A and B are shown apart, each in its own frame.
Chain A
Amino acid sequence: MHRTKEKKETPDKHPQTLQSGFHIEADKILSKTSVSVNNVLSIVDFKEDTAILKMRKGKIKISGEELSISVYENKIVEILGKVRNIEFL
């Protein structure tokens, strides 16, 4: 069978495809909220009431109470707790 490899081009993007700058998902887990943030470059600050994360397109500040942090592969960070506010800095 004859195979030809085509020159790789930027794949066609559906106009509604998410840009890779940031991607946030939020879930309710019992009385707490889980906020998962993709493509995190670094963790600027973390305290029990504030988390500041840096991504390619800017920083994000998550504030609330009793926050805890989890770090996953593929640069995903999850903040779990009583999330009150999410700000883009």
Chain B
Amino acid sequence: MMRIDYLLIGYREFTVDIEDIAKAAEIFLKCGISIKFIGNSFYADEKKSKIIENALLGKVKFQKSELLGFGGFILKNRKRFGVFFAIIFTVFIIGLSSDKVWDIRIEGCESGEENKIISDLEECGFKVGSSWSKINMSHVEVDFLSKSEEVSWININRRGTVAYITVIAKSSYSEPDENVGYANVISEYDAIIEEITVMRGIAMVKAGDTVKKGDLLISGVIPEELGGGFCYAEGIIRGRISDSIEVSVPDFKEEKISGKKKLSLMSVKILGFSVNIFKSYRNSEEKCDIIEEKKTFSLFGRDIPFVVNKKYNVRYVPERIELTKEEMTEMALNQTAETVTDKLKDSNLIRISTSGKFVGSSYVMTTDMVYSCNIGKNISFNVHKS
């Protein structure tokens, strides 16, 4: 398939003798020129054609065509202004019309409810004739759900100029009881119980008890003397936890020294269909970062359905940088602060102490802390009736 940029900008067809294919390919390999042979012919844009001509001149016999594609067409008809005006006008009309919603199709509801859904969507600003680029789909969906009494979920998908709407109707059943089923409350940490409030179930520990991770705190099994049976145990149990964090920082860090950015892939998305234009291979043993770029276009303030995607390879070489003692200490402090903040987000800090020392070529920072938090966790269980 011809590259779309060649078709648009213009290209030339080169033909060599079948016996000379190997020789021509060898020349391109040595000059670093990317060429794809189709039989004994290949194609290149105007700029690349000049490079190819210089490379092959005097070494391989070849024939070169006139400029082909849209670029060639423009060159041939450059004085026929009417033709260009008609082409530009046609593209403009097609672009504008593809921005409109031409049809709405609804799935997931009874046939009689479709009209109601369409009229509700119209109140939210979405109907046949609406402009895709001016509609915020998320707002329409949220707006619709807040107004509709029959629909519990809606999703609007665009395929070309047709809107496919999927809905799920609300079912007429009552909200399920959250406490259906049985559960115990167990400890998530090794801790000392500070406070226990039981809302449902039987307390198995009291304030001051020491518990280990997994110990039963509130039981969902009701003893016979209290009526028997099972329940979904619930309660708030605060425990005091002792924890220790150790952070080790080496005496060096690796930084990337980036090289030049090089295009590795280029593709175009037109009306939702993606077309690959250019792809180059790299040496897979080299280290590189990949940068992805997306470019959209607009005409008279409207977005046109034409997106250019590019990927670049940026080669890098890792360099090892030695750290001073002050830098090592600062890095250890930052890492410790991050870990401590994460652990204490739903807790109350009681006591914290930090110490650090140089061990070999690393700096080790140790933080001991005592804090209190909720330690209970619900664990469901099933009862098999015999």
Contacts and interface: CB of A to CB of B under 8 A. Distances in A.
A9 B284 CA distance: 21
Interface in B306-352: 319-322, 324, 327
Nearest to A45: B22
Contact of B322 (A4, A71, A76): A4
A46 B23 CA distance: 9
B320 A46 contact: no
A32 interface: no
A20 B283 CA distance: 10
A70 B33 CA distance: 10
A25 to B, nearest CB: 9
Given A20-B285, A46-B22, A74-B281, A68 B35 contact: no
A73 interface: yes
A17 B286 CA distance: 12
B268 to A, nearest CB: 21
Interface string A46-80: 11100000000000000000001111111111000
Contact of A68 (B22, B38, B319): B38
Interface in B11-39: 18, 21-22, 25-26, 28-30, 32-39
Given A43-B25, A45-B22, A71 B284 contact: no
Interface residues of B, number: 28
A69 B327 CA distance: 55
Interface in A20-48: 20, 23, 36, 38, 40, 42-48
A75 B36 CA distance: 14
A77 B29 CA distance: 8
Interface in B104-133: none
Interface string B262-285: 000000000000000000111111
A2 interface: yes
Given A23-B284, A75-B29, A46 B35 contact: no
B281 A3 contact: no
B35 to A, nearest CB: 5
A84 interface: no
A85 B319 CA distance: 44
A89 interface: no
A69 B37 contact: yes
Given A1-B321, A2-B322, A43-B29, A74 B283 contact: yes
A38 B285 CA distance: 11
Contacts of B26: 42-43
Contact of B34 (A5, A6, A72): A72
A65 B39 CA distance: 12
Contacts of B32: 73
B21 A36 contact: no
A31 to B, nearest CB: 16
A20 B284 CA distance: 10
Contact of A46 (B25, B30, B322, B327): B25
B22 A5 contact: no
Contacts of A20: 285
A6 to B, nearest CB: 6
Given A46-B22, A46-B25, 4 more contacts: A68-B37, A71-B34, A73-B34, A76-B281
15 contacts: A3-B321, A20-B285, A38-B281, A43-B25, A43-B26, A43-B29, A68-B38, A69-B37, A70-B35, A70-B37, A71-B28, A71-B34, A72-B280, A74-B282, A74-B283
Interface of B: 18, 21-22, 25-26, 28-30, 32-39, 280-285, 319-322, 324, 327
3 nearest CB pairs, A to B: A46-B22, A70-B36, A43-B26
